[in-house]
Amino acid sequence: MSASEPAVRHAILAISSLHEAVDSRSRKGRELDTRFAFREYGNAITSLRNWAQRDEPSAIPLLVCILFICVEFLADRDSAAQMHICQGRKILSGLGDGHSSTMEMVKRSLVPIYTRLSLSSFLFGSRPAPIPNHLRAWTEVPAVFAMVEEARLSLYLILDEGLQFGTRAHPLAFDPNCDPLVMQHLQHEQQRLLSQVSRWHAAFTVLTSMTPQSPALESQLNILRIYHQASLVWISTSLQTSELAFDAHLPAFASIISLASTIIGSIPTNSKLEPFTFETELVAPVYWTATKCRHPLLRRAALKLLTREQMRNRRENLWHVRETTVIAARVIEFEESDIQDPLDLTFSATSTNPESSSQGSAESESFDIHTCNAKKIKIDVSNPPTLPALPPAFPDPTPVESIAGNTPGSGASSMSSPSNMSEPMSPISAALEGIQQLDLAALKSASLESPFGIPEHRRIKNAIIGVAEDGGIWTTFFQDPEPGQTQWKVTREFLRC
């Protein structure tokens, strides 16, 4: 197809060049010129704009959209990646039912990719269109799977439905005026999804019991087991407004940690996982476990997995292991800071003072909820503790653009490369040191039963990963209101990573 379609050819060249740059930077600490990559990306966009629509449905726009998503993942441009994901899903949602060879190729090869991209869109605040039933391999989980790929597709279809359900149900759960009949309908839908998860697990267990195992296959199967556990927790808590609800899912969190540890442990200590992957694999569920599981040992085990050498500088599409490690460590510090004799988690971060924020006053500049002083954010508790999604934006690429951190003078994290200079301990190293300092004496003051010494009002309801800048990332934290208040307590910090 790349030989006959210029848009495909140019996009593949851009991906190859950008991937080489990411790999070189991660493995050798050497920056490569990315002007060729962005020139080819621009050529691909021009070719697609000039592409002549055929009379019959074509897979070209859907395929090129996936290639553009990959380019934006490599370039680390969140908003543009979300725009392409939403655009691709919109195209899918508009396809009619048909039986042409093109439609069969779309169902077989492209729908599974767009389904898995849910984990890169919903979890970053986007709301892509649902995949139509006629493009899904099935609407009910089959009793048996013929191969692992069938089980994989089935699980991600359930995950897609679960993410759609959660984003639709969560706001209604916070609404005190929600119609009881609507809530009853949501509860029935929740039970249907949980039944699908249970049915999937039974069919998956039968399949794996009869499938010859290999180390590579076992890691793939463990990824599916991780997302099976994550889907159970996500769907089960979608109608809950209390963070205490997560305390009932310790076995699932423990399983996620154990499975992720097995995958990482299968990589030799002198090797690493690939520095970049298009797929969402380990970073998101392990980060989620560290922030939502309040058992002091389990969440530290999750945090330690993110700091393992095999995971160093790992990027899974828009998920950065360095960023998530620092944010998870900060969440732990937030929640456990008021515990008497808390478990030591030394942490270095740059916090903004709301009174002296460089964002300026409302009178001096236009209000932007994503960058403003945290004290300006007023969100009532009848709404979910979150920020509205940023509108997708797509600046046309130019030859001078470069991958994140590849611009002259950009501030590199202290984890980027070895240095003999004396400097403050990096947040990731601080998090790891805090884990290593955990001992039996500290455990005596830490509760190992729910609520683990962390009452609801101290728990982080949500952590919004915001704008990345040189050397760190802006993060917005939501907690229960202060006494007598009816709006979420909001804290915004710049975390060095």
DSSP string covering 176-199: TT--HHHHHHHHHHHHHHHHHHHH
DSSP state of 416: S
Sign of the torsion formed by the C-alpha atoms of 121, 124, 126 and 131: positive
Is residue 41 very low, low, confident or very high in pLDDT (cuts 50, 70, 90)? Answer: very high
CB 441 within 8 A of CB 468: no
Is residue 459 very low, low, confident or very high in pLDDT (cuts 50, 70, 90)? Answer: very high
The pair of three-digit structure tokens given for residue 140, joined into one six-digit string: 């009910």
Is residue 408 very low, low, confident or very high in pLDDT (cuts 50, 70, 90)? Answer: very low
pLDDT of residue 442: 56
pLDDT of residue 358: 34
pLDDT at 410 over 50: no
Query: How far apart are the C-alpha atoms of 426 and 411, rounded to whole Å?
Result: 14
Match 């919004």 to its residue by tokens: 464
- Minimum mean pLDDT among 42-51, 85-94, 419-428, 476-485: which range? 419-428
DSSP-derived 3-state class of residue 68: helix
Query: How far apart are the C-alpha atoms of 321 and 312, rounded to whole Å?
Result: 7
Domain boundaries, the chain: 1-124, 137-241
Is residue 496 very low, low, confident or very high in pLDDT (cuts 50, 70, 90)? Answer: confident
Is residue 337 very low, low, confident or very high in pLDDT (cuts 50, 70, 90)? Answer: confident
* Interval 19-26 mean pLDDT: 81
pLDDT, greater one: 256 or 391: 256
CB 349 within 8 A of CB 414: no
pLDDT of residue 270: 79
pLDDT of residue 50: 82
CB 255 within 8 A of CB 229: yes
137-241: which CATH number, 1.10.287, 1.20.58, 1.25.40, 1.10.3470? 1.20.58
The H or E element spanning position 304 is helix 296-306
User: 162: how many CB neighbours lie within 10 A of its CB?
Assistant: 24
Query: How far apart are the C-alpha atoms of 223 and 235, rounded to whole Å?
Result: 18
pLDDT at 348 over 70: no
pLDDT of residue 139: 81
Q: Tell me the pTM.
A: 0.86
Sign of the torsion formed by the C-alpha atoms of 450, 242, 373 and 425: positive
Match 């629509």 to its residue by tokens: 53
Query: How far apart are the C-alpha atoms of 439 and 431, rounded to whole Å?
Result: 15
Q: Could you read off the pLDDT of 368-404 as tens digits, one per residue?
A: 676 777 778 899 999 999 988 766 666 556 544 545 4
- Angle between helix 427-436 and 321-336 (nearest 10): 50
DSSP per residue, 365-410: S---TTTS-GGG---BTTS-SSPPPPPP--PPP-TT---TT-STT-
pLDDT at 304 over 50: yes
Between β-strands 315-316 and 276-277, what pairing exists: parallel, antiparallel or unpaired? parallel
pLDDT of residue 418: 30
The H or E element spanning position 467 is strand 462-469
Q: Please, what is the Cα angle at 217 between 212 and 218, to 5 degrees?
A: 90
Query: How far apart are the C-alpha atoms of 60 and 5, rounded to whole Å?
Result: 8
